[in-house]
Chain A
Amino acid sequence: MKTNNVILRTVIKIVVFIILTLAVYLFFSGHDSPGGGFIGGLVLASAFVLLFIVEDIATIKKGIPVDFKRVAALGAFIAVATGFGAIIFGEPFLTQTFGHFNLPIFGETHLTTVTIFEAGVALTVVGVVVSIILSISRDV
């Protein structure tokens, strides 16, 4: 959808960065405060949607050369695979574990395998939402 809307385009160039940062923040903070894979993924997807609205699809595709259907499939695969990961360690399917680690830069950090699972969720959400929007917009 190519419309010559200068104000929108200028604003969105900045806003998209804020949204992307927010998405990453929401994703990582999910386990302790509002956020998580689903919301993070949605915010990320909405950033893409905004980009698609102001630019034409071909330009964006050049900038982000990813097949979003594959992203969705990869996400679902990761989500299921973390379940099988637990089985290898002799735990029931989808058991998650966590621990506190002292990392060089971040200091005392709380790490959990849920993050991997949530990453799968986020990727699926991004992939599905963006590919649906892309296919609709191509359709018209």
Chain B
Amino acid sequence: MLFVFSIILVLIIAVLLIQVRRKRNAQFMHIGWFVFLVPASLFVLLIRYLPSLADGHTYFTSMKWIPSFDIHLTFYLDGLSMLFGLLITGIGALVTLYSIYYLSTDESLKHFYTYLLLFMASMLGVVFSDNLMVLYVFWELTSISSFLLIAFWNQRKKSRQGAQKSMLITVSGGMSMLAGFLMLYVMSGTFSIREIISGISQYTDQGLFVPAMLLILLGAFTKSAQFPFHIWLPDAMEAPTPVSAYLHSATMVKAGIYLVARFTPIFGGEGTWFWLVGGIGLFTMFWGSFHAVRQTDLKALLAYSTVSQLGMIMSMFGIGSVALYMGYSAETAIYTQASFAALFHLVNHSTFKGALFMVVGIIDHRVGTRDIRKLGGLLKIMPVTFTITCIGSFSMAGLPPFNGFLSKEMFFTAALKISQFDVFSLETWGILFPTIAWTGSVFTFVYCMIIVFKTFFGPYQVEKLEHHGHEATIGMLLAPGVLALLVVGIFFFPNVLGKYILTPAMSSIYPSVPPSELTVPIAAFHGFNTELLMTFGIIALGIILYKFSRYWKGIYKLFPDNLSFNALYDVILDQLGKKANSMTNFYMTGYLRDYLVYIYLFLIIAAGGILIYTKAFLFEISGNSPVSLFEWIIAMVMMAAGIAIIFANSRLTAILLNSALGYGIAVLFVIFRAPDLALTQTIIETVTTVLFLVAYYFLPEWRRERGRSISKSVNLLISICVGVIFTVIALAVQNGKLFATISGFYENAEELAGGKNIVNTILGDFRAFDTMLEVVVLLIAGIGVYTFTKLKAKKEDERG
């Protein structure tokens, strides 16, 4: 399937890109042009699927990955994943186009675009995956790649901190989501989202159902920056502006919304789902818009506005889930319109917020600041930027003739509708929905006015700007211009979008409802109803609040800085580091013998405890094969060598005695006819002995330790205990028959794998995954040793 290979293709290009070596001063073309082709062609590819999706087709493809765990690379293209796929590739193409003009060739562009493509591929993976585990893998990949993108200017401390914050919050959310996925698997026995949806009626009353829902919601809320996890989003603004436009307007933050939409058919019937998604969404909308007004940095303002808008979309999905709660009927179909509005606003938000971020980037680029206290009067020098900003801001404020107006009216319809709905004993509380929605929208209006009027009107304070601005180049204006055109275009032709993109997506959210009832005709003018009156109210109150902002802005001082969630995060992080540090210092004494004591104590408690607990002291040795004379001799030699090590007087003797032990085991392997093991043991023993000799040759003379007699006797006790436990285990395992014998396994190795050496066929054919991971572990360990020795040598160099 073409759309699946697109993900793989993006990943491959990302990997190839890092290999590009740039000749100094030989830049003939911005690397971004090549990258631009990737999302652009993917966008065209996806567009070609649109008509057949509108007819109700879906596409499905599956490749085996780990069949024994029911994990397959299963990809699914339906209306919902299509909508997100178009956003990811479409906005991705525009952002790449914009970044070509935004980032200079002095930057490490290949890293930037590699991260960007990596991010794009993982986002596409998230929205196309049908298998929960694959979805999770891609989900965490988005966190990692966005971490790399946010910290792109990693020489800045704030970039690193912002990246760390976003990563910590989103990854921990992702982990709770993983736990939720596993619970779903326990209940349903499948990782496939479609299969879970089709069998949903069987799991709803299980005990794990609500915990799974809560954990998955936690993942969605952290990713989509819902209250109180929104604190990472403003800090993530340290990223280059194209990244902010892409990650924080169009894609990454919408992964959580995608998850909520995707899981609505599963959990939407729960009352808790409605309260959490709808309630938290609505509060986030208010909180974000309320705090956006106080920001002085344009980008921070946009970040808070994104938080608010995401909350708004989230709350609409919450309201839409009521349709599932009540069961399908003609009356409840009205609530599905809320989800339709959510999807519509999702698209609208991507267009206007993408444009706004890019415009802010242009302003920053041209005059060197984003601080609205320094900006002003830019209208004269940047008229095109002004036009785009106006379109974006007014659309966000919900004014006609821009697409934000349409979806905001639908949002009010949904909020009003839910207030009349009393199934959750909402008679008194229901009124909160339209009230909070309206209040939030007033603040939205205010900050939209701030963006336009504080930046472009008023006095032009040239002395406060870093450089004298002028209009941006056409290339830079191209991408936001296209988005601005979309903002206006959607307003005039909303039903094209509705028919081809939104309705198929609605069918994925409400699979049981016939698609014809899910289509909502969008009209620019819908009569003089409550919604329109609310809009007039917003404009009136908004203008008053904007004009007299200096009189009421004092209320922000009521929020002490040290009582915020940000402060909580800082304290947790700080304390975690300090506590971990003191804890580590406590037990990391630097003495190898202390570490051995910890290891052995743990072993004694764990292994000895289990032995006592399971009463495993039954020695049954009658079934053992007789011990031959040879074996006796070797065992005696090994024991003698072992005891002699304790009394050895020099390192050389100790090393040789130690290797005598090792070679003894090798000989035992030979006697027991395990040539492979014997060979390995011999070589390992040789290499390590040589290594020891090389390393110990340079160590100072062996000195007897003159420790205190108490610690000596404690050590003696520990070593005796370890010895006893190992002997007991060796004797007791003879007795244990917990599982059927494994000697019958892989007897057919030759016909299955074509190899006569069973050890090797196990390593290479039957359990190759273990071997592969071992190889990776070996590599990591090797790099670790190498770095340690290198680091030490370097430090000594610096010192002396």
Q: Residues of A with Cβ closer than 8 Å to B?
A: 1, 26, 30-39, 42-43, 45-46, 49, 53, 69, 72-73, 75-76, 79-80, 83, 87, 90-94, 96, 98-99, 110, 112, 114, 117-118, 120-121, 124-125, 127-129, 131-133, 135-140
- Report B563 CB to chain A, min CB distance, Å: 49
**Which of B65, B675, B754, B786 is close to A112, meaning CB atoms less than 8 Å apart?**
B754
Name the residue among B73, B675, B783, B792 with the largest chain A CB count within 10 angstroms.
B783
Contacting residues, chain A, for B768 (C-beta < 8 A): 83, 94, 96, 114, 117
Which 4 A-B pairs have CB atoms at the shortest separation, nearest pair first? A128-B782, A98-B754, A31-B755, A114-B764
Interchain Cβ contacts within 8 Å, total number:
161
Contacting residues, chain B, for A135 (C-beta < 8 A): 785-786, 789-790
Contacting residues, chain B, for A96 (C-beta < 8 A): 753, 764-765, 768
In the bound complex, CA of A118 to CA of B760 (Å): 10
Q: Which residues 751-772 of B sit at the A interface, judged by CB distance below 8 A?
A: 753-757, 759-761, 763-765, 768-769, 771-772
- Report A121 CB to chain B, min CB distance, Å: 5
Q: Residues of B with Cβ closer than 8 Å to A?
A: 63-67, 73, 675-676, 678-680, 683-684, 686-687, 690-691, 694-695, 698, 753-757, 759-761, 763-765, 768-769, 771-772, 775-776, 778-779, 781-783, 785-786, 789-790, 792-793
Contacting residues, chain B, for A31 (C-beta < 8 A): 753-757, 760-761, 764
Contact between chains at A76 and B776 (CB < 8 Å): yes
**Which of A35, A83, A129 is close to B760, meaning CB atoms less than 8 Å apart?**
A35
Contact between chains at A140 and B695 (CB < 8 Å): yes
Contact between chains at A92 and B64 (CB < 8 Å): yes
In the bound complex, CA of A79 to CA of B772 (Å): 6
Assuming A45-B687, A46-B687, is B753 touching A93 (CB within 8 A)? Answer: no
Name the residue among B775, B785, B793 with the largest chain A CB count within 10 angstroms.
B775
- Report B12 CB to chain A, min CB distance, Å: 11
**Which of B675, B755, B793 is close to A138, meaning CB atoms less than 8 Å apart?**
B793
Contacting residues, chain A, for B778 (C-beta < 8 A): 72, 76, 124-125, 128
Contact between chains at A83 and B772 (CB < 8 Å): yes
Contact between chains at B698 and A132 (CB < 8 Å): no
In the bound complex, CA of A47 to CA of B761 (Å): 26
Contacting residues, chain B, for A132 (C-beta < 8 A): 782, 785-786
Contacting residues, chain A, for B776 (C-beta < 8 A): 76, 79-80
In the bound complex, CA of A96 to CA of B783 (Å): 29
**Which of B754, B760, B769, B793 is close to A30, meaning CB atoms less than 8 Å apart?**
B760
In the bound complex, CA of A121 to CA of B772 (Å): 8
Contact between chains at A75 and B755 (CB < 8 Å): no
Cβ-closest chain A residue relative to B698: A140
In the bound complex, CA of A120 to CA of B445 (Å): 61
Contact between chains at B687 and A129 (CB < 8 Å): yes
Cβ-closest chain B residue relative to A36: B760
Cβ-closest chain B residue relative to A31: B755
Contact between chains at B763 and A38 (CB < 8 Å): yes
Contact between chains at B789 and A75 (CB < 8 Å): no
- List 20 extra interface pairs beyond A33-B675, A42-B683, A49-B690, CB under 8 A: A31-B754, A31-B755, A32-B757, A38-B763, A39-B676, A75-B779, A79-B771, A79-B772, A80-B776, A83-B772, A90-B63, A92-B65, A94-B769, A96-B764, A118-B764, A121-B771, A128-B782, A135-B789, A137-B694, A140-B698
Cβ-closest chain A residue relative to B782: A128
- Report B678 CB to chain A, min CB distance, Å: 8
- Report B582 CB to chain A, min CB distance, Å: 31
Contacting residues, chain B, for A33 (C-beta < 8 A): 675, 756-757
Contact between chains at B676 and A36 (CB < 8 Å): yes
In the bound complex, CA of A30 to CA of B564 (Å): 63
**Which of B683, B764, B765, B779 is close to A46, meaning CB atoms less than 8 Å apart?**
B683
In the bound complex, CA of A116 to CA of B763 (Å): 13
Cβ-closest chain A residue relative to B67: A92
Contacting residues, chain B, for A117 (C-beta < 8 A): 764, 768, 771-772
Cβ-closest chain B residue relative to A133: B691
In the bound complex, CA of A36 to CA of B761 (Å): 10
- Report B26 CB to chain A, min CB distance, Å: 26
